[in-house]
Structure 1
Amino acid sequence: MTNSAKQNPATGQVNGVLQSSFIGNSSTKLNLSRTLTGRVGNTQLQPFNVTLSELVAMFQPEQVKAGPKEGPYFVRGSCNGGRSDAAMALAENLLIIIDGDSSISDAGEIVEGAPDPKLAHDAMKQAGIEHVIYTSHSHHKHGQDFNKWRLLVPSDAIAHTLTSGVDAILDILHLAGVRVAPVSENNKLSQPWFFPRLDAGRAAGYYCASYETGRPFKVPDRLPEPVQAPASAKPKQRGESVVQAYCDRYPIRQKVAEMGFNLIRENRYLPPESKSGIAGAVILTGERDGRERLYIHNDSHPLKGRGLDSFDLYCEDDHNGDFKAAVKAAAELLGLTATDDAFALFIAAEDQTEAPEPDPLPVDVSGVSIENPPGLAGEICQHLNKTANRALPLIYPIVALQMLSLAAGSRKGLDGIKLNLLTLAIAPSAAGKEHGQSWLAQTAAELKLGRHVVGGISSDVDMIRNLIDGDGRCCYRIDEIQGLFNAIKSKNANTYESKIGDLILTLATSKVYQFAGNHRRTFLIEIDKEIDHLKKRIAKAEKEPEEGEETPDVEKLNRALRWLFKKRDFIENGWPDPVVSIMGHSTPSGLDSLITEDNIGSGLIGRCLVIRCAEEREKLQKVKETPFFGDVDLFNRLHLINDGSLQPLRVSTEARQMLDAIQSYYDQDQRLNAPVMGAIYARVMEQVNKVASLLALEAEEVKPEHVSYAFALVARCIEDIAYLLQKDTAQKANASIADIALHTRAEIKRKLATRKAKAEGISPGALRGAILNCSVKLKQITDQHRKSTQAEGKPDLYDQIVKRMEEVGEIQLKQAGKKTRYILTEGR
C-alpha cells in the first residue's frame, strides 16, 4: 500500500493537517538502548541501533520465545549511562510507544483490555504512518477478546515534545474508533519496555504487524481549524436524581465552554491546560444511561483518564471533588425540597459509586469456596465442622491457617515472607467461636507448642517477655478482642496499654526487633541470672553424683546454656524475625464499630484478615466425631510440618503467573492510591503470599489452587472491611440519606446471601424487621415518616430502597405457595 492509498474518513481531517508532518526514509534508523540480561532492576543499558525492518524481524513469531513476563528490555531512545530520564534528556528521534493496556467505554470509563490490535494497525496504516505493533505477555489472558499490545512509532520527538507526540497518535487512533486508554507509561521518557515474550499456553495468540513503507511521524505544531459542531439531541437519561436533574439543566457542552475548552471539531475539544495543542477531549454518549460525558486524554489535564458528565465537572470545578457538598448545593440550586431530595440523593450516590462494568479480577475465583480451603487446611475445617455443637464454617479456615502458622515455626514463605497472621473473626455471641479456639489450643499442646500460645496481652512488657519465653514465636488467642483495641485507642489508656498497638505492629512486621533501652537492661539482668544458675547446675552435674542421686544429662544442660547465650545476644543486639500472630474473635456489637477509616489508616486493623460472619446462628447439631483428636491423621501431618524442612518453598510456573497478575492488578494507581481502601489494597500481596505459603507447607510447592484460594479469602476480607466501613459511615451523626440508603442496600444483600436465605428466601415483613433492627438511623427516619401527616400514603425510605433494588434486578419477590419471599437475584 502506498502513502496515497485511501484513508479512513475518521482520520482524514487530522491527516490533512498532519500529512506535511512526515519525513521520508527507506528504512528508518532507530537509536535505542537495551539490556541483554536481568529484569527492570538492571539499569545498565547498551546501545541498540537498528533499523525499523530489523526490529520488525526480531518481533516475528518464530523469533519470540515462551518465558516469564519480565526479562531484557529496551527504552525509546539513546540513553547516556544508567536508565533515567536525565540520561535520556538529549535523546532525539524517540519512539512513540502506545501501551495498549485498557480501553475507553462509550460512557468514558476505563475498562481492562485494549481494543483489537488489528484495528490499531489498520488505523495507523490508513494514516500512512510507519509502525510496528505486537502483543504483550498478558494478551488473551482472560479470553480471546482480552487484548494487550504495544504500538511503536518512529518519530522526530525529543524529551519536551514526547507528550505532544503521544497525544497526537492517540488522537489519530481515537478518531478511527480505536479507543485505547492513555496510560502514564506512554509519556515516561525512560520507561522500560520488555522485548516480546509469550505465555506458553497462549503462544498461538501472538500477533505482530508492521507498516514499513510509510514515513516516520513528525510531531505536529498546528491543528485543524475550528468547525461548528452540529446540534444533537441529548438522549433521555436513566433515573430521577440530583445528578440527572443537574445534567438536564446544564448540558455538558455548555459546561465545557464555561471551563474554557475550545471546540475544534465535532465532539472534540482542546483543554485550556493543553501543552501539546492536541484536541484531546471528546464527548461520548453512554449506551447504558444515555448520559453525555467528557473524556480527556491530554496528559497535562488534572482530570485526564475519566469520563465526566456535567455534574462531575461541577463537582470538581466548584466543590473540589466533594461529592456530598456538590449534591447538596445542586439540590438547592435546582430548587429540590427536602422531601423530594431524600431518595434522589440515594440515586445520586448510587450513580456515583456504581461503575458500568467492574474490572475483571486478575484470578478467577468463581469456583472457590471460602469454607473449603485446599489440602490439610481443608481437612482441618471438615474436622471442626464435624466436631462442633454449633458449626461456624466461615471461621474455621482462619483457625486452620493459624494452626499451620504455629506449626511452621520459623519457616519462611514466598519471597522470604514471615508466616505470622493477624486475624479478626466477627460472629454473634454463642455462635460457636470457642470451638475453633479450643481446638487450636489443645492441638498446640499435643504438638508441644503450647508454650507459644498465649491467652491475652496485659502490657507491652508482657508481650516482650512472651516473645523471649517463646523463643521468638507467640500466638495470641484473644476472645472479645475489642477490649484490647478499645484500650489501645482510648485517650485515658495507661502508658503500657497505649504502647501495645505499636508493639504489635513492630513485632508482626519487623525483620529485627530492637529492644528499648529499659527493656534490654531488665531482661539482660534476668537472663544473666538464668545463665549463672544453669552454669552452677552443669558444674555440679559434671562431678560424681552422690549415691542415690539421678545422673543429670550434661549435654542437654549444655544445649540449654548455648541457647540462653544465643537469646542473650538477641536481647542485646536485636531479635531476628520475631513471629507474632493474633487470632482475635468478637461479636458484631463489639468489633464492627472498630473498623473505621481512622483505625485502618493507623495500620493495625489494615494488616488484619477480617472475616465478618452472618448474624444468624446455626442450629445445634449432633456431634458424630470424637472431639478434638478424633482424627489422628491431622495431628501427624501437622507434626511433620513442624519437624519439616526449612528450605524455601517452590512455586509452579502457573502459580507465579497468577501472583504476578494479582500484584499488577493491585499496583494500579486507582487501587494503590485509593482513599481509605488504598491502605488495604497495598497489603493484598503480602496477605496472599502468606496464605498461599501456609496452604503449601505440606506439599512444599505453591500451586495454582493455593493462590486461587488465598486470593479468594483476601478478596472476601476486603469485601467485609468495605461493608463495615460503609456501616460506620451510615451510623455517624452527620450521615446523609445517601450514606444510610447505600448501607441499607448492602445490608439487604448480605441478609439474602446467607445459606438459609438462599434456600428459603425471607418474607417482606421479616426482612424489614431485620434491617430496621440493625440500623438505628434508618429506623429513626422511617419512624419520623410514619408520624408525618404530609407523608401519609407515601413509601418510606426503606420501601423506596427495596423498590429500587427490585427495579434494577438486585432482588426479586417470589411467590412460594401462599407466601411471598424476597430472594437475591442469581449472579448478584
Structure 2
Amino acid sequence: MFNRFWSRFFSSESSDESTTSTKNSKPDDKNSGSETEMTETSNEIDFQLMPTGLKKLLNKVDLSHPPGLAGDICEDLATLEYRALPNLRPAAAMMILSSVARQIENPPYKLNLYVISTALTASGKEAHQNYLKQALMDLGLDSKLHDTPRSDKTIMFDLLYSEGCSIYVLDEGHVLFRTALSSRASTFEKNMADLLLQLKTAKQYRLSGNLKREVQEQLIARLEKADKKKSNTAFQPEDKEKLKNLLELTNECIYDPFVNLISYSVPQNVAFLFSKKEIETGLLGRIIFVRGPSKRAPLRGHDKVVRPSKDISERLKAISTENLPTESLAARTTLHTIKEYLECDENRNHGMYGAIFARGYEQIRVVATLLALESKEIDQSMVIYAFKQFLNSLHECETHLSTQSKTSIEESQKLVELKVREYSERHGSGSFGVIRNNIFKCSAPIRKLENNQKDFLSNTLQKFADLGVLIKVGNNQYLHKSCISAKKLNTAKKQST
C-alpha cells in the first residue's frame, strides 16, 4: 500500500503532469528519480485511511507550480535558471512570501519556514539562491539576511541586530545541522539546534542562562569600545544608541521572533538528518524537504541577470499585511477533512512518523496562507497543494529512513557474521548463549544495536543457523561454516536435516 501510494502521487509525476507544468517548463523539468523499494514493516503508513476525495484532489496537483502569486514567481524563476529545477522553484517562492508575511500581526500560526532543498551538485541551485536573495533585497530586507551561524550566540545576535527577523539563505547549509547535531560539538554549537527549534514556533522568547550572559558581555564590550573611539567615524551616536537598546532588549521578552531558513545541499549530505531521534525531537516535523531531479537538465545558454521581474517585484511590494487571508467554504471543508485524516489515532500516534503527522496540519495552514497573501482568500487548490507538499516532505523522510534501515540491517548482519567467525576460529564451537555473550562483550557497535533492537543478536544467530552459516556440530554446539572441512560440513548438514 505504501509504495503504491507514493508511486501514484509522486514518482509518476513526470508523465501525469506533462500537460499541467508551467509554460516555461521543458521536457527536462520533471523529476526522473527512481522510487525506493519498500518492505512491509510496522513503520509503514496506512494510506487506506485517507478519504477517496482527497486522493482524487491530490491527483490534480502539480507540485512544481503552486497556485497564486507563488506559481507566477516559479514561472519567472524558470526563465532565469541555468539548468531547469522545477521541483525546487516553489521553495524559493514560499520563502519570499513568508518573509513578506512576517509583518502580519498575531497569526494563529507563525508564518516562517524552515526548508531544505536538495539537488545534484552543479545542477543550477545557485540561480535559485541568487533570485531569492535579490527578491529579498528588492523588498528592503537585505539587513535581515545573514550568513551561516556558528553558535547559538550568533543566532541571537543576528536576531537582535535585525530587529527580531532573521533570514538565512544557506549554500551547503547541511554543515550547520551537522555541526549542531554532532556528538563532538561544543556546547554553544549543540545549542544551535535547540535554539532554532524554539524560534521556529515560539510566540515569545526570553534570553536566559549562559546565552544571556554571553550576549550581554559582548554588547557591553562593544559599547565600551565605541566610547573609546569617539573620533572614529565608524562609531556614530546612533550606533551606540542601538547597542544600548539591544542591551536593554536582552532583559525583556522578544515577541514573535521570526526566523526563516532555507538550505541548499546535495541529497547525500543531508542523509544524516533523517533518524527516529530527530523525528522525536521535532526537527523533521518543522522542516519542509524538497528534492530535485535525479539527473541534471541541459545547460541553458543565457546571460540574464538573475533577479525578479519588475511585475513580480511590484506585486510583492503591493501585498497588504494588515489582515490574514480568509478561507473559502470549500477550503474550510477540505482543511477539516485533512485535519481528521492527520489527527486520526493511527497517524498522530504512528510508531515512526507520529510527531511529523502531529505538526502536519499547522504546516498545511501556514503554506496555504502564504499562497493566498496576494488574493486574500485561501481557496481549495491552495489547501490541497499545501497538503501534497506536506506528503511530499514526508515521503522524503520515509525514503531516507527506509534506505538507511536496509543498509543498517545488512551491514549489522555482516558484522555479526564476522564476529561469529572470529569466535569459531579462536574458541571452536559454542552454544548460542555463549557465542552471543562473547560477541556482545567484544563489539561496541553490536551492543548499540542490541540496545536499540531487542533480541537482535539472538534472532540473527538463529537466522544464521537456518541459512547454514552456523553449523550444529554437537549438543547445542555451533561452529561457523568456514571452520569446518568440506567433508565434515556435508556430514553436519545431513545430520541437521
In the other structure, the counterpart of 1:689 is: 365
Displacement of 1:361 in angstroms is 5.8
Q: Does 2:427 match 1:427?
A: no
In the other structure, the counterpart of 2:276 is: 597
Cα pair distance change 1:531/1:407, threshold 3 Å:
farther
Give the counterpart of 1:509 among 179, 194, 201. 201
Which residue identity is paired with 1:601? Answer: E
In the other structure, the counterpart of 1:575 is: 254
Q: Does 2:65 match 1:372?
A: yes
* Alpha-carbon distance between aligned partners in 2 of 1:597 and 1:356, rounded to the nearest angstrom: 20
Q: Partner of 1:732: helix, strand, or coil?
A: helix
Q: Percent identity?
A: 29
* Structure 2 counterparts to residues 395-794 of structure 1, below 5 A: 395-412=88-105, 416-524=108-216, 567-623=246-302, 626-629=304-307, 631-641=309-319, 644-734=320-410
Cα pair distance change 1:630/1:680, threshold 3 Å:
closer
* Alpha-carbon distance between aligned partners in 1 of 2:101 and 2:375, rounded to the nearest angstrom: 13
**Cα pair 1:412 1:418 within 8 Å, conserved:** no
Cα pair distance change 1:410/1:532, threshold 3 Å:
farther
* Alpha-carbon distance between aligned partners in 2 of 1:440 and 1:354, rounded to the nearest angstrom: 35
**Cα pair 1:524 1:568 within 8 Å, conserved:** yes
Which residue identity is paired with 2:115? Answer: T
Q: Deviations over 1:729-773 (max 9, x none)?
A: 111144799xxxxxxxxxxxxxxxxxxxxxxxxxxxxxxxxxxxx
**Cα pair 1:524 1:571 within 8 Å, conserved:** yes
Which residue identity is paired with 2:143? Answer: R
Which structure has more strand as a fraction of its residues? 1
In the other structure, the counterpart of 1:790 is: none
**Cα pair 2:153 2:214 within 8 Å, conserved:** no
**Cα pair 1:362 1:661 within 8 Å, conserved:** no
* Alpha-carbon distance between aligned partners in 2 of 1:348 and 1:475, rounded to the nearest angstrom: 40
In the other structure, the counterpart of 1:822 is: none
Displacement of 1:408 in angstroms is 2.1
Cα pair distance change 1:390/1:523, threshold 3 Å:
same
Give the counterpart of 2:51 among 334, 350, 360. 360
**Cα pair 2:173 2:264 within 8 Å, conserved:** yes
Cα pair distance change 1:617/1:358, threshold 3 Å:
farther
* Structure 2 counterparts to residues 50-129 of structure 1, below 5 A: none
* Structure 2 counterparts to residues 123-522 of structure 1, below 5 A: 349=40, 357=48, 359-360=50-51, 363=54, 364-412=57-105, 416-522=108-214
* Alpha-carbon distance between aligned partners in 2 of 1:711 and 1:347, rounded to the nearest angstrom: 23
Q: Partner of 1:471: helix, strand, or coil?
A: coil
Q: Partner of 2:79: helix, strand, or coil?
A: helix
Displacement of 1:421 in angstroms is 0.5
Q: Partner of 2:86: helix, strand, or coil?
A: coil
Displacement of 1:633 in angstroms is 0.9
* Alpha-carbon distance between aligned partners in 2 of 1:576 and 1:480, rounded to the nearest angstrom: 30
Cα pair distance change 1:361/1:579, threshold 3 Å:
farther
Cα pair distance change 1:416/1:353, threshold 3 Å:
closer
* Alpha-carbon distance between aligned partners in 2 of 1:355 and 1:530, rounded to the nearest angstrom: 57
Displacement of 1:686 in angstroms is 1.3
Which residue identity is paired with 2:257? Answer: P
Q: Partner of 1:416: helix, strand, or coil?
A: coil
* Alpha-carbon distance between aligned partners in 1 of 2:38 and 2:110, rounded to the nearest angstrom: 45
Displacement of 1:608 in angstroms is 0.5
Cα pair distance change 1:629/1:483, threshold 3 Å:
closer
Displacement of 1:615 in angstroms is 1.9
Displacement of 1:349 in angstroms is 3.5
Q: Partner of 2:167: helix, strand, or coil?
A: strand
Which residue identity is paired with 2:142? Answer: G
* Alpha-carbon distance between aligned partners in 2 of 1:435 and 1:712, rounded to the nearest angstrom: 25
Cα pair distance change 1:630/1:362, threshold 3 Å:
same
Displacement of 1:357 in angstroms is 4.8
Displacement of 1:456 in angstroms is 0.6
Displacement of 1:527 in angstroms is 5.9
* Alpha-carbon distance between aligned partners in 2 of 1:639 and 1:347, rounded to the nearest angstrom: 46
**Cα pair 1:593 1:728 within 8 Å, conserved:** no
Cα pair distance change 1:650/1:585, threshold 3 Å:
same
**Cα pair 1:362 1:662 within 8 Å, conserved:** no
**Cα pair 1:420 1:581 within 8 Å, conserved:** yes
* Alpha-carbon distance between aligned partners in 2 of 1:347 and 1:586, rounded to the nearest angstrom: 25
**Cα pair 1:511 1:576 within 8 Å, conserved:** yes
Structure with larger RCO (C-alpha < 8 A, sep 6+): 2
Which residue identity is paired with 1:638? Answer: L
Cα pair distance change 1:355/1:584, threshold 3 Å:
closer
* Alpha-carbon distance between aligned partners in 2 of 1:440 and 1:590, rounded to the nearest angstrom: 22
Cα pair distance change 1:453/1:594, threshold 3 Å:
same
* Alpha-carbon distance between aligned partners in 1 of 2:278 and 2:117, rounded to the nearest angstrom: 17
Displacement of 1:648 in angstroms is 3.1
Displacement of 1:446 in angstroms is 2.4
Cα pair distance change 1:715/1:571, threshold 3 Å:
same
* Alpha-carbon distance between aligned partners in 2 of 1:517 and 1:496, rounded to the nearest angstrom: 12
Cα pair distance change 1:530/1:456, threshold 3 Å:
closer
Cα pair distance change 1:636/1:453, threshold 3 Å:
same
Which residue identity is paired with 1:494? Answer: S
Displacement of 1:628 in angstroms is 2.5
* Alpha-carbon distance between aligned partners in 2 of 1:501 and 1:351, rounded to the nearest angstrom: 30
Q: Partner of 1:634: helix, strand, or coil?
A: helix
**Cα pair 1:410 1:579 within 8 Å, conserved:** no
Q: More displaced, 494-503 or 627-636?
A: 627-636
Q: Partner of 2:58: helix, strand, or coil?
A: coil
Displacement of 1:528 in angstroms is 7.2
Displacement of 1:347 in angstroms is 11
Q: Deviations over 1:559-595 (max 9, x none)?
A: x96x877655542121111111210121122112421
* Alpha-carbon distance between aligned partners in 1 of 2:145 and 2:313, rounded to the nearest angstrom: 17
Aligned length: 370
Displacement of 1:622 in angstroms is 3.1
Displacement of 1:683 in angstroms is 0.7
* Alpha-carbon distance between aligned partners in 2 of 1:354 and 1:499, rounded to the nearest angstrom: 33
* Alpha-carbon distance between aligned partners in 2 of 1:488 and 1:534, rounded to the nearest angstrom: 33
Cα pair distance change 1:534/1:495, threshold 3 Å:
closer
Cα pair distance change 1:722/1:362, threshold 3 Å:
farther
Q: Deviations over 1:759-794 (max 9, x none)?
A: xxxxxxxxxxxxxxxxxxxxxxxxxxxxxxxxxxxx
Cα pair distance change 1:647/1:431, threshold 3 Å:
same
Which residue identity is paired with 2:307? Answer: F
TM-score w.r.t. structure 2 length? 0.67
Cα pair distance change 1:579/1:348, threshold 3 Å:
closer
